[in-house]
Structure 1
Amino acid sequence: MTIFRLGYVAMSVHLQNASPSQTMTYRQFSSIKDKEAAVKKLERIAISNLDNCIRLLKHNAAHEISFFRFSSKIIPLANHPEIEAWNYIRPLLPKLNELGEIIKKYKMRIDFHPDHFVVLNNSQSEIVKASLKTLQMHEKLLRGIKIDPKHRCVLHVGGVYNDKEEALEQFIVNWGIIPYRLQKMIMLENDDTNFTFNETLYLCEKLNIPCVFDLHHHMVHNDGEDWQDHWERAIDTWKYSKLPMKIHISSPRSGQKDRAHADYIDYELFLDFLKKVNHTIPMLDCMIEAKKKDDALFQLAAELKNQPGITFIDGASFTINGV
């Protein structure tokens, strides 16, 4: 029997004034003549974002939600080349420590999904260097929280660049120059336009990277293959991880091939998937990618509780009996 655990992304629609992604543009920063004052303003914004992360984790704890994805926009301008001297972690350490204590107390799993501009299979070294700089920022945050960075950042494979086979091989070439401390953070996800589940698994198996399966992406973009034919392969990519296997779940906004995410999750489609993978692994973490964030989780849980054979362990984890 598999334990299924639900999580959601970055922010809550139930908490007011709790954005973890407040920002400041470089134009706004540069318009402040006193640069020390400008940096202090950046720090205040980052601290406010972390305060809201703390509120979000407390909200999750109150609802027994132990799986959560942090925003990757907590620290504005962290990677801007004109502010490289800014030691942004030092002033944030008290708040990062507080986050870490909550995560430890409630045994939460947290991770990140850096933005689409983090691309590791580009042939241009400057693009890869910029991507690594962003990954370094995520590693610093994780270490500040005192969380093992291993398998905490989900990435897509990257661009096709007119030759998919060459793009896959370029990822392998670039992987060789990525520092190990950053390599070990990475999980790879199949996407909805470029690389299928099978193609993503090719890299994951070759480079010992956990594969994060996205059912919605597979529905939109595949080569005619059945995801079930590759499920055991995906499970096997997690054999070196201390964390449970994870997947992403979302529902198309309109037709089955719609790439856009709906506000909520189609529980019937999700339940059909769960029944197919039940008993294949001890635990599966399911990250909800829906416009309504935590409300989508609450609605999905409420709908699942009405289904025969489903037993909830806490607010966001459950088992399926008799399947």
Structure 2
Amino acid sequence: MTLFRLGYVAMSVNLQNASPSQTMTYKRFSAVRDQEAAVRKLERIAQSNIQNCIRLLKHNKAHDIDFFRLSSRLVPLATHEALEKWDYLAAIKEDLKELGDFAETYGMRLDFHPDHFVVINSIDKEIFKTSMKVLKYHYFLLHHMGIDPAHRCVIHLGGRYQDKVKSLERFIDNWALVPKGIQKMIMIENDDTSYTLEDCLYVCEKLNIPLVFDIHHHLANQDKERWEDHWERILNTWSRSPLSVKMHISSPKSHEEYKSHADFVDLKLFLDFVKNTNGSTGQIDCMIEAKQKDEALFALAGELRKHPNVIMESESSFRWKGE
């Protein structure tokens, strides 16, 4: 039987005053006359964000949650072109180490999902350059946490640019321009608009990149393909990874807003996935992308706990014993 572990994204709706994404706009930053004081303010915000992440991990530990996506907004303005000379890591390296040490001590899997403006297949060289800067920022955060960066950043394939086939090939061509350390970090996720599961598998298999299967995106964007028919290929993309297979689970908000995420996860949708993948691999880490964050995880775990075919291994992990 496969072990299914539940995780959630970035912040808690239950833990008060623990935002890991406190920020400062560049407009506000540049309005401060004493720029050195403004930089110190940025550093204090970053330190507070990381300490709040540690609080979140302690909250997770209390509920046996071993899988968590960190906010990409830990350090405000870290990649802003006007602050290129700012050594933001010097001020936060001890906090990052504390965060990484806590995760390592309790065997927690942490990763990132950089924002949509990371576009490796861009036709604009400046956008590609900015994308590399953002990915390097994530690499440095992981490095100072003491976390192996292998397969810790999920990205999408990018834009279609009016020619999907050429844009797919451009991703493959541009991959050669991505530094090896950054390449090592990347996982690719099928999206809900441009690139289907099969499109992503084509690139992942060519470049040896793990594929993060998003079942909601697949339902919203597919060429009448059954994901079950490709599951073995998905598993094979993880064959060289030190980490377990990862997937994303969310539910449509409504029929009219199908691509938007609902507050909670539909149990039937999730169990359809569980039944079809049980026994295919030792462990699958399931990232819940629901609006209610940890509350959505608690609700789903509560429903699973009542199911006669579910064996709970902890508050947030389970096995399916079949019907």
Q: Give TM class, smaller chain.
A: over 0.9
1:91 lines up with 2:98 in the alignment? no
Q: 1:258 is matched with which residue? A: 258
Q: Distance in 2 between matches of 1:292 and 1:124?
A: 36
Q: Distance in 1 between matches of 2:94 and 2:153?
A: 23
Q: 1:304 is matched with which residue? A: 304
Contact 2:43–2:91 (Cα < 8 Å) also in 1? yes
Contact 1:245–1:283 (Cα < 8 Å) also in 2? yes
Q: Distance in 2 between matches of 1:56 and 1:322?
A: 34
Paired amino acid for 2:57: L
Cα gap change, 1:256 to 1:306, in 2 (>3 Å): farther
Contact 2:10–2:68 (Cα < 8 Å) also in 1? yes
Structure 1 outlier segments of 4+, above 2 Å:
none
1:139 lines up with 2:125 in the alignment? no
Contact 1:197–1:213 (Cα < 8 Å) also in 2? yes
Deviation at 1:124, TM superposition (A): 1.3
Q: 2:249 is matched with which residue? A: 249
Q: Distance in 2 between matches of 1:42 and 1:156?
A: 29
Contact 2:4–2:285 (Cα < 8 Å) also in 1? yes
1:222 lines up with 2:219 in the alignment? no
Cα gap change, 1:169 to 1:178, in 2 (>3 Å): same
Q: 2:189 is matched with which residue? A: 189
Q: 1:32 is matched with which residue? A: 32
Q: How does 1:45-194 map to 2 (within 5 A)?
A: 45-194=45-194
Q: Distance in 1 between matches of 2:47 and 2:322?
A: 48
Deviation at 1:322, TM superposition (A): 2.7
Cα deviations by residue, 1:12-67 (Å, 9 ceiling, x for unpaired):
00011111001001111111111111100000110110111011000001111000
Contact 1:220–1:257 (Cα < 8 Å) also in 2? no
**Matched residue SS, 1:158:** coil
Deviation at 1:102, TM superposition (A): 0.9
Q: Distance in 2 between matches of 1:273 and 1:178?
A: 34
Q: Distance in 2 between matches of 1:104 and 1:130?
A: 31
Cα gap change, 1:272 to 1:60, in 2 (>3 Å): same
- The gaps in structure 2 that reach 5 residues or longer are none
Number of residue pairs matched by the alignment: 323
Contact 2:275–2:322 (Cα < 8 Å) also in 1? no
Deviation at 1:292, TM superposition (A): 0.2
**Matched residue SS, 1:110:** strand
Cα gap change, 1:276 to 1:108, in 2 (>3 Å): same
**Matched residue SS, 1:184:** helix
Q: Distance in 2 between matches of 1:250 and 1:309?
A: 22
**Matched residue SS, 1:166:** helix
Q: Distance in 2 between matches of 1:79 and 1:272?
A: 41
Q: Distance in 1 between matches of 2:256 and 2:152?
A: 30
Paired amino acid for 1:274: V
Deviation at 1:100, TM superposition (A): 1.2
Paired amino acid for 1:96: L
Q: Distance in 1 between matches of 2:177 and 2:221?
A: 30
Deviation at 1:170, TM superposition (A): 0.4
Q: 1:279 is matched with which residue? A: 279
Q: Distance in 1 between matches of 2:154 and 2:192?
A: 15
Deviation at 1:165, TM superposition (A): 0.2
Deviation at 1:93, TM superposition (A): 1.1
1:269 lines up with 2:269 in the alignment? yes
Cα deviations by residue, 1:170-220 (Å, 9 ceiling, x for unpaired):
001100110000001000000000000000000000000000000000000
Q: Distance in 2 between matches of 1:58 and 1:290?
A: 21
Q: Distance in 1 between matches of 2:284 and 2:69?
A: 15
Cα deviations by residue, 1:230-252 (Å, 9 ceiling, x for unpaired):
11000000000010000000000
Q: 1:211 is matched with which residue? A: 211
What's the TM-score, normalizing by structure 1? 0.99
Query: Percent of pairs identical after alignment?
Result: 57
Q: Distance in 2 between matches of 1:320 and 1:289?
A: 22
Contact 1:247–1:285 (Cα < 8 Å) also in 2? yes
**Matched residue SS, 2:88:** coil
What's the TM-score, normalizing by structure 2? 0.99
Tell me the C-alpha RMSD between the 2 structures: 0.9
Q: Distance in 1 between matches of 2:294 and 2:72?
A: 18
**Matched residue SS, 1:89:** helix
